[in-house]
Amino acid sequence: MSAEKQPAAVADDVVVTMEYSLTVEGEEIDSSKDEGPLSFLQGHGNIIPGLERELAGMKVGDSKKVVVAAKDGYGEYDEEAVMEVPRDQFPEEIPLEQGIELHVTDEDGDIVHAVITDVREKTIVLDTNHPLADAELHFDIKILSLRAPTSDELTHGHVHGEGGHHH
């Protein structure tokens, strides 16, 4: 195997490892201090689009504060993502009270995150908007390392092995 040249800056198809923290409305809600640095393949939608765009061209050791608007983050709040579901469709072990978070399957068979926002006599109101819908996201990021992806990683469009957890 030939020693590949280390990428000089963040670009598509480069594996980026970065430290980050995410602040919403002045409150830090996520940080690599908890889970360790995040590694991802730039240009493949592994992270939200607004952040990916801002990283392009950054070099190892660079840090940056990035503000991502809701539409480039987790989307704007969608009234249609709120639904009323008959009570009898809920498994008995789920406590039916406001603020309970659950995972439900949508029409396409995808698992979506939902929160009970209202408990009525015959129905339960579920909100399947992302918890960060409508949120302006404030990231503080620092690039720790850059490397070329393996051919497998390129084929699959995401990082394998260490630190490849998804958000």
Domain with CATH 3.10.50.40 in the chain: 15-74+135-156
pTM for this model (two decimals): 0.78
Work out the burial of residue 135: count CB atoms within 10 Å of its CB; fewer than 13 is exposed, 13-18 middle, 19 or more buried: buried
Percent of the chain's residues with pLDDT above 90 = 79
CATH placement of domain 15-74+135-156: 3.10.50.40
Rounded to an integer, what distance in angstroms lies between the CA atom of residue 141 and that of residue 58?
10
pLDDT digits (tens, 9 = 90+) for 98-110: 999 998 887 788 8
C-alpha closest to that of 41 among 3, 5, 2, 7: 7
Q: Domain 79-127 falls in which CATH fold? A: Thrombin, subunit H (2.40.10)
| Residue 62 vs residue 160, higher pLDDT | 62
Residues 21 and 157: beta-carbon distance below 8 Å: no
C-alpha closest to that of 141 among 44, 43, 68: 68
Domain with CATH 2.40.10.330 in the chain: 79-127
